[in-house]
Amino acid sequence: MTTSRRILLAGSAALLAAPRLVRAEESPGVTATELRIGTTYALSGPASAYSLIPKCVTAMVKRLNEEGGIAGRKINFLVYDDAYSPPRTLEQTRRLVEQDKVAFLFNNLGTPTNSAIHRYVNQRKVPHLFLATGADKWAEPKQYPWTIGWQPSYRTEAQIYAKHILEQKPEAKIGLLYQNDDFGKDYVNGVKDVLGPRFDAMVKTASHEATDATVDSQLVSLQAAGCDALVCGIIPRFASQAIRRVFDLNWKPMMFMSNVSVSGSVVIEPAGKEKAIGLITSDYRKDQSDPSWADDPGMKEWRDFMARYIPDGELGDNNYTYAYGVGLTLFQVLRQCGNDFSRGNVMKQATSLQPMALPTLLPGIMVSTSPDNYRPIRHMQLQRWDGRGWVRFGKVIEGAEV
Residue spans in the chain of domains classed CATH 3.40.50.2300: 19-151+298-371, 154-283+381-401
Beta strands 34-41 and 147-149, pairing class: unpaired
User: In degrees, to the nearest 5, what angle opens at C-alpha 171 toward C-alphas 169 and 173?
Assistant: 95
Beta strands 229-233 and 280-283, pairing class: unpaired
d(CA 200, CA 191): 11
Secondary structure (3-state) at 292 = helix
d(CA 174, CA 192): 12
Task: For residue 145, give the nearest of 173, 169, 126, 164 by alpha carbon.
Answer: 126
For 13, the enclosing helix (H) or strand (E) is helix 12-15
d(CA 335, CA 331): 6
In order along its 402 residues, the chain shows pLDDT tens digits of: 555 555 444 444 444 433 444 454 568 999 999 999 999 999 999 899 999 999 999 999 999 999 999 999 999 999 999 999 999 999 999 999 999 999 999 999 999 999 999 999 999 999 999 999 999 899 999 999 999 999 999 999 999 999 999 999 999 999 999 999 999 999 999 999 999 999 999 999 999 999 999 999 999 999 999 999 999 999 999 999 999 999 999 999 999 999 999 988 889 999 999 999 999 999 999 988 888 899 999 999 999 999 999 999 999 898 999 999 999 999 999 999 999 999 999 999 999 999 999 999 999 999 999 999 999 998 999 999 999 889 999 988 876 554
pTM of this structure:
0.82
Determine whether domain 154-283+381-401 maps to CATH 3.40.50.2300: yes
> What's the CATH fold of domain 19-151+298-371?
Rossmann fold (3.40.50)
pLDDT value of residue 10? 47
